[in-house]
Structure 1
Amino acid sequence: MSRPERLIMFDVDGTLVDSQGDILAAMTHAFERADHAPPLREAVLGIVGLSLDVAIPRLAPHLTDEMHGCIVGWYKEAYMGLRAQSGVVQSSPLYPHALDTLRALHAAEGNLLGVATGKSARGLDKLLDGHDLRSYFVTRQVADHHPSKPHPSMLLAALAETGVASENAVMIGDTSFDMEMARAAGIAGIGVAWGYHRPEALGTACAIARDFRDLPGLIDKVWG
């Protein structure tokens, strides 16, 4: 008897790709255009994973809703410009061994791969096409269609779309938002140590991967 299909969901920024250079540069540009001091690096990386309409007010709670909206727009404009200037591969490089691990997981019988990200659909499409990854992911959940993490909407939609039961799914991410989202959706969460939140912040993770090559073994342990 074949095993049931298993759904392996990935966060993007800080998990699959390291896009912090462009994130920090775009945030600096947006805040300077608003004539406000840019947030510290640690603060910016601390909100990666949240949807921008949630992240910006956290970074600047003293500003008006109107200014928050302006900063969101200026950030998007700057980020797209930086990506167009340097190209996806350079602006958002894959982490070491990510591609080989994705290939192995994708090739394994019964595995379905997906993405749950705070990126927009347009941003995710650009990234997947730039790295030629589109064919790996059967479900792609983005900020356009869901509340911000850690709301479980993205993962619940992925489960419904693929027909996989929650006990046969896992979320892989680098932030506390990813792990809280997984718990809220009733699925296991595996944290990664190479991303934007410190491993000790991933308190609800059932395991922490120190290297991309650790993931297949940790995923197998989730399902015994």
Structure 2
Amino acid sequence: MKLVIFDCDGTLVDSQHLIVACMDEAFASLGRPAPSREATLSIVGLSLAEAFATLTREGDPDIPALVEAYKGAFHAQRLKPGNAEPLYEGAREVVEWLAEQEVALGIATGKSQRGVRIVMTHHGLLERFATIQTADDAPSKPHPAMIEQAMAEVGALPEDTVMIGDTTYDIDMAHAAGVASIAVAWGYHAPQALLLSRPHALVGAYAEVPLVLKGLWGP
């Protein structure tokens, strides 16, 4: 069984404006200055607790309150018209192509189960994914648990598994799990940073993904 695991934010969907707005609201709710947009996008992919620990300091007493404020802000923002998280160009086509090849599909994300299921349902793609691993189910990236759990759920071996993501956390997680990785250049970490994590390939558009997968797995 071959398995392709996608990150969500910055890989499948473009949620940057929503994430930055919610992060600003979370910090403002505690009367604290918000991090820069660049700093906020740099932590996308981590679990919320890990993200806030990175943006503040380890052991900051406000972290639990910031996490809850962010969750509340995200829920409220998502209900506003025009605040949908759009799919990146070509994402749907690649997901559908992989499904036609009878490749198992998974998601590994710092989102909650509720959050990722809402956005995938909105785009009509939820049923395409055989396994969904989130910050609710495993340690934060780059710990390999999300990938390991996904492989166990569908019965895939490391040599038959590929992780696709837009951050160094995704690529480092793939290395830790012993699977191949494809970095995407349209997300939240710069291509130069991604290359330092040594992905098996770096792509600039979804149209390149099928060819890379064929190269990794053979005809």
Structural RMSD (CA): 1.2
Where does the alignment leave 5 or more consecutive residues of structure 2 unmatched? Answer: none
Q: Distance in 1 between matches of 2:58 and 2:151?
A: 38
Residue by residue over 1:158-203, the C-alpha shift from the partner in whole angstroms, topping out at 9 and shown as x without a partner, is 1111111100000000000000000000000100000000111113
TM-score, normalization by structure 2: 0.96
**Offset, 1:61:** 1.1
Of residues 4, 7, 15, the one that matches 1:8 is 4
Query: 1:121 is matched with which residue?
Result: 113
Q: Distance in 2 between matches of 1:161 and 1:38?
A: 39
TM-score, normalization by structure 1: 0.94
Structure 1 residues 11 and 62, CA, compared in 2 at 3 Å: closer, same or farther? Answer: closer
Structure 1 residues 158 and 36, CA, compared in 2 at 3 Å: closer, same or farther? Answer: same
Letter in 2 for 1:212: Y
Of residues 85, 93, 100, the one that matches 2:86 is 93
Query: 1:37 is matched with which residue?
Result: 33
Of residues 180, 184, 187, the one that matches 1:188 is 180
Of residues 77, 92, 103, the one that matches 2:72 is 77
Query: 1:19 is matched with which residue?
Result: 15
SS state at 1:85 partner:
coil
Q: Distance in 2 between matches of 1:35 and 1:59?
A: 15
Query: 2:42 is matched with which residue?
Result: 46
Structure 1 residues 54 and 151, CA, compared in 2 at 3 Å: closer, same or farther? Answer: same
CA contact 1:121–1:144 (8 Å) conserved in 2: yes
**Offset, 1:204:** 1.8
SS state at 2:130 partner:
strand
Residue by residue over 1:6-64, the C-alpha shift from the partner in whole angstroms, topping out at 9 and shown as x without a partner, is 10000000000000011000000010111111000110000000000110011011773
Trace 1:41-190 onto structure 2 (pairs within 5 A).
41-61=37-57, 64-65=60-61, 67-86=62-81, 90-109=83-102, 111-190=103-182
Q: Distance in 1 between matches of 2:201 and 2:193?
A: 12
Letter in 2 for 1:83: R
SS state at 1:91 partner:
coil
**Offset, 1:91:** 2.3
CA contact 1:193–1:210 (8 Å) conserved in 2: yes
Q: Distance in 2 between matches of 1:173 and 1:140?
A: 15
Letter in 1 for 2:90: H
Residue by residue over 1:50-79, the C-alpha shift from the partner in whole angstroms, topping out at 9 and shown as x without a partner, is 0001100110117733x1110110011001
**Pairing 1:214–2:208 present:** yes
Structure 1 residues 199 and 29, CA, compared in 2 at 3 Å: closer, same or farther? Answer: same
CA contact 1:21–1:91 (8 Å) conserved in 2: no
- % same residue: 44
SS state at 2:187 partner:
coil
Letter in 2 for 1:78: A
SS state at 2:207 partner:
helix
The runs of at least 4 consecutive aligned structure 1 residues that moved more than 3 Å come to none
Letter in 1 for 2:71: K
Letter in 2 for 1:209: V
